Amino acid sequence: MKKINLSLIIVLLLLISIIAFIGYRWGRSDRVAVQGFVECRTLRLASKIAGRIDKMFVEEGDSVRKGDTLYIISTPELDAKLSQVEAVLSGAKAINAKAKAGTRKPIIRSAYDMWQKAKVGVTFARQTYERVQRLYDEGVVSAQKRDEASAALEAARATEQAAKSQYTLAVEGASREDKEAAAAQVRQAQSVVEEVERYLADRVVYAPTNGVVATIVANEDEIVGSGYPVVTITENNTAKAIFNLPEMLLPQLSVGDRFEAEVPALGRRVEFEVEAISVEANFATQSATSARGDFDIRTFEVMMRPLADEELRAGMSVIIELKKPTE
């Protein structure tokens, strides 16, 4: 019995010695734990137009893929605007078509008939003038009669020339300037229609990437303004570990260095690689308490990316161990 108690005492003393030794070594450890956090790329999605949310297709925590519909905005004012500009476009196209088609055939035919009539008038006036001229030469009629016949001939010629011009205009149709103006009106109306259609297309908001819906700011039937963020998405595979390291620890890291970090939320270690180190200090985490001999401790942001892990979520703690700076 005494031998058993003695053995038990020896074992207990040995355990106490080991625990004391580990505690001593732990207290004298030359390592320091540095805690960071996981940060993911976040997208705040909004629409270019204001309106009432007609339908919300997602909830917080839903996984979405690129192209999935998130929500739809109702915009009756834009629908009315589209009908208005489409009517303007139709009118501009009709004017342009008329300019291209030229004058209608009945009008051209009428102008041609007027020209032929005027030509007959010229022939008749010329024959009349020639008869009057012969009679004048014979002394039968006065000079006034001859002058009247001459004036009638000139008037008939002018009428014939005007009728011909009207016929030519009818055949040629609208002028080049009128045709260009009509075409420009069509292009202007078309651009307004396209602009309104682009705004209408923005009524439906889609997921721009794969991710998880983090927050929904507005619900169905609520009115949101132009550019107002409605849904926030955390993008997949964009997790980074962010550390704010005191400047004394900074010399231990370089871009490309790899570390195994403890992620308590996952219950395991994950390998990270230093991706970027801030070129300037962020803020002071410890201020000097003495006017002489001490200095403010500045911190620098260090960004690390996981080498192969898709389970990291924003806000998770990440712990790495570095050497204690020499005092």
Q: Tell me the per-residue pLDDT of 46-67, one tens digit each, with 9 for 90 and over.
A: 888 888 888 999 998 888 999 9
Per-residue pLDDT, 285: 53
Provide the residue ranges of all domains of the chain, joining segments of one domain with +: 28-41+236-323, 43-74+202-235, 81-198
Per-residue pLDDT, 150: 81
Per-residue pLDDT, 290: 44
Mean pLDDT, residues 187-199: 82
- How many angstroms separate the most distant Cα atoms in the chain? 181
Distance CA 238, CA 235 (A): 6
Distance CA 47, CA 223 (A): 12
Per-residue pLDDT, 11: 55
Taking phi over 0 as left and psi of -120 to 50 as alpha, with beta for the rest, 222 belongs to beta
Identity of residue 224: V
Q: What are phi and psi of 130, to 5 degrees?
A: -65, -40
Mean pLDDT, residues 156-167: 75
Cβ atoms of 248 and 325 within 8 Å: the answer is yes
Range 43-74+202-235: architecture per CATH: Beta Barrel (2.40)
> Token digits for 106?
């009945």
What separation in angstroms does the CA of 119 have from each of 108, 116, 161, 272? 17, 5, 9, 100
Per-residue pLDDT, 173: 59
> Burial letters for 131-160: b for 16+ Cβ neighbours within 10 Å, e otherwise?
ebeeebeeeebeeeebeebeebbeebbebb
Identity of residue 124: F
With cut-offs at 50, 70 and 90, classify the pLDDT of residue 140.
Answer: confident
With cut-offs at 50, 70 and 90, classify the pLDDT of residue 1.
Answer: very low
Per-residue pLDDT, 192: 82
- The closest of 184, 181, 320 to 258, measured between CA atoms, is 320
Per-residue pLDDT, 86: 79
- What residues contact 137, with CB distance under 8 A and at least 6 apart? none
**Can you state the angle between helices 143-172 and 105-137, rounded to 10 degrees?**
160
Distance CA 69, CA 196 (A): 21
Q: How far, in whole angstroms, is CA 95 from its chain's centroid?
A: 34
What separation in angstroms does the CA of 308 have from each of 113, 156, 237, 239, 271? 90, 99, 10, 11, 8
Mean pLDDT, residues 140-161: 78
Reduce the DSSP state of residue 28 to 3 states and report it: coil
Per-residue pLDDT, 108: 65
Identity of residue 238: T
- The closest of 295, 286, 296, 283 to 244, measured between CA atoms, is 283
- What residues contact 126, with CB distance under 8 A and at least 6 apart? 153, 156
Indicate if the pLDDT at residue 327 is higher than 60.
no
pLDDT in tens, 270-280: 999 999 888 87
Mean pLDDT, residues 251-263: 88
Mean pLDDT, residues 76-80: 77
Per-residue pLDDT, 295: 57
Question: Of 95-104, 110-119, 309-318, where does mean pLDDT reach its minimum?
Answer: 95-104
With cut-offs at 50, 70 and 90, classify the pLDDT of residue 169.
Answer: low
Question: Of 16-30, 60-74, 160-174, 226-240, where does mean pLDDT reach its minimum?
Answer: 16-30
What's the mean per-residue pLDDT of the chain?
A: 78
Q: How far, in whole angstroms, is CA 13 from its chain's centroid?
A: 73
Question: CATH assignment of 28-41+236-323, given 2.40.30.170, 3.90.870.40, 3.40.1170.60, 2.40.50.430?
Answer: 2.40.30.170
Which residues, in sequence order, are bridge partners of residue 51? Answer: 224
Mean pLDDT, residues 80-104: 73
Per-residue pLDDT, 231: 92
Distance CA 124, CA 110 (A): 21
With cut-offs at 50, 70 and 90, classify the pLDDT of residue 97.
Answer: confident
Question: Which residue would you say has higher pLDDT here, 129 or 44?
Answer: 44
pTM score: 0.54
